[in-house]
């Protein structure tokens, strides 16, 4: 047990102490370090996810800490690092610049037209690389101290530095990806670190041996082609096909077990909340009708733990700037933290 206050009452009123869920622990005493990355420079539809980490932090105090899968999960010690205001300020600056590029492309004009925006694109890509390097450094520092890490976005471009840090530790791991979008575009709109390119960039990391995507329903021809030609490295479970199987009488448990069968022993969970039915996080950046229920995703993750696979990390991204979205996002973070703790415990039960 790493909670600093031995008399802490998990049934008490959530304390506004600056930490997620009001837990009385700090960086040194916590086992799980939560890193916020308030970055959404390349978002191409609705903005606001840069404020997602703050919404999750604010809402987390309202959660009751009893978890049906892991009642003592709070004891692991969860600490959320301070939201980096310098990244948030840079996000606002570069987001304004990116909007000019997005508008230019939407008009069917070249970036080299007057005024030439190619230097602006270069600056945005360099800023994205700096954020990736910052996150890599933060994750590696925590992992070198034996801690686990979770990342909260921002848009879905943000966890790349964490992917890279895990690759320095694990020679082979898979990603279980919940999303409405495949995110397999090569430098979407010219942005090397676009929210629509996170899995394309992730697959450049050779240690990521498998990408299993669940809930896809808004996808390009090129992305489908990439999946089909990946020689099994990418496995897609499209939302309409999942639904058709369920309507025909397949059970969700059976589908979950099939999904999990494709994954290696070590698994990273990448959770874009637009993979859910939009009623759950309506302020997400790119909502799409359809999608998964929250308990469907939790069921999938429970089955993952039951399979004796190890959850080595996770991110929760694209939570919008709204109180309800923060509420749902906080519950996702807490559930994933507890399931990760269970999966890494010598004797776990789900």
The token pair at 318 is 């694209």
- Euclidean distance between CA atoms 283 and 30, whole angstroms: 31
Per-residue model confidence (pLDDT) at position 80? 98
pLDDT digits (tens, 9 = 90+) for 246-300: 999 999 999 999 999 999 999 999 999 999 999 999 999 899 999 999 999 999 9
Buried/exposed 198-223: b ≥16 CB within 10 Å, e otherwise: bbbbbbebebbbbbbbbbbbbbeeeb
Tell me how far CA of residue 177 lies from CA of 2, 99, 181, 211, 213, in angstroms: 30, 27, 10, 7, 5
Which residues make Cβ contacts (< 8 Å) with residue 133, sequence separation at least 6?
Answer: 161
- DSSP tag of 73: G
The owner of tokens 């848009």 is 155
Instruction: Determine contact, residues 34/20, Cβ cutoff 8 Å.
Output: yes
Tokens linked to 312 = 């080595």
**Cα separation values, 286 from 48, 55, 123, 154, 320, Å:** 11, 18, 25, 13, 10
pLDDT in tens, 13-24: 888 899 999 999
pLDDT by residue for the chain (350 residues), tens only, comes to: 455 567 899 998 888 899 999 999 999 999 999 999 999 998 877 789 999 999 999 999 999 999 999 999 999 999 999 999 999 999 999 999 999 998 998 899 999 999 999 999 999 999 999 999 999 999 999 999 999 999 999 999 999 999 999 999 999 999 999 999 999 999 888 888 999 999 999 999 999 999 999 999 999 999 999 999 999 999 999 999 999 999 999 999 999 999 999 999 999 999 999 999 999 999 998 999 999 999 999 999 999 999 999 999 999 999 999 999 999 999 999 999 999 999 998 765 55
């Amino acid at each position: 047990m790493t909670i600093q206050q031995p008399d802490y009452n998990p049934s008490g009123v959530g304390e506004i102490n600056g930490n997620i869920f009001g837990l009385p622990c700090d960086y040194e005493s916590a086992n799980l370090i939560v890193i916020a990355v308030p970055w959404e420079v390349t978002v191409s539809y609705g903005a606001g996810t840069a404020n997602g980490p703050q919404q999750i932090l604010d809402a987390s105090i309202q959660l009751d800490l009893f978890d049906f899968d892991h009642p003592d999960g709070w004891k692991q010690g969860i600490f959320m690092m301070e939201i980096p205001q310098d990244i948030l300020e840079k996000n606002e600056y570069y987001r304004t610049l990116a909007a000019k590029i997005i508008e230019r492309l939407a008009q069917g004009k070249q970036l080299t037209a007057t005024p030439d925006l190619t230097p602006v694109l270069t600056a945005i890509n360099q800023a994205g690389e700096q954020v990736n390097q910052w996150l890599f450094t933060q994750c590696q520092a925590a992992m070198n101290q034996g801690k686990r890490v979770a990342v909260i976005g921002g848009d879905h471009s943000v966890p790349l530095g964490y992917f890279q840090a895990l690759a320095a530790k694990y020679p082979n791991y898979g990603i279980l990806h919940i999303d409405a979008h495949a995110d397999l575009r090569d430098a979407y709109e010219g942005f090397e670190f676009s929210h629509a390119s996170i899995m394309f960039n992730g697959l450049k990391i050779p240690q990521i041996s498998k990408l299993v995507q669940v809930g896809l329903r808004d996808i390009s021809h090129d992305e489908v082609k990439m999946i089909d030609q990946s020689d099994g490295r990418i496995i897609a479970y499209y939302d309409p096909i999942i639904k058709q199987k369920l309507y025909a009488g397949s059970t969700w448990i059976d589908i979950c077990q099939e999904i999990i069968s494709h994954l290696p022993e070590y698994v990273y969970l990448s959770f874009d909340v637009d993979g859910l039915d939009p009623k759950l996080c309506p302020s997400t950046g790119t909502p799409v009708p359809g999608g998964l229920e929250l308990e469907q995703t939790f069921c999938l993750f429970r089955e993952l733990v039951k399979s004796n696979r190890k959850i080595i990390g996770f991110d929760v991204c694209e939570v919008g700037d709204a109180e309800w979205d923060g509420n749902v996002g906080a519950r996702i973070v807490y559930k994933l933290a507890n399931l990760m703790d269970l999966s890494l415990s010598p004797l776990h039960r789900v």
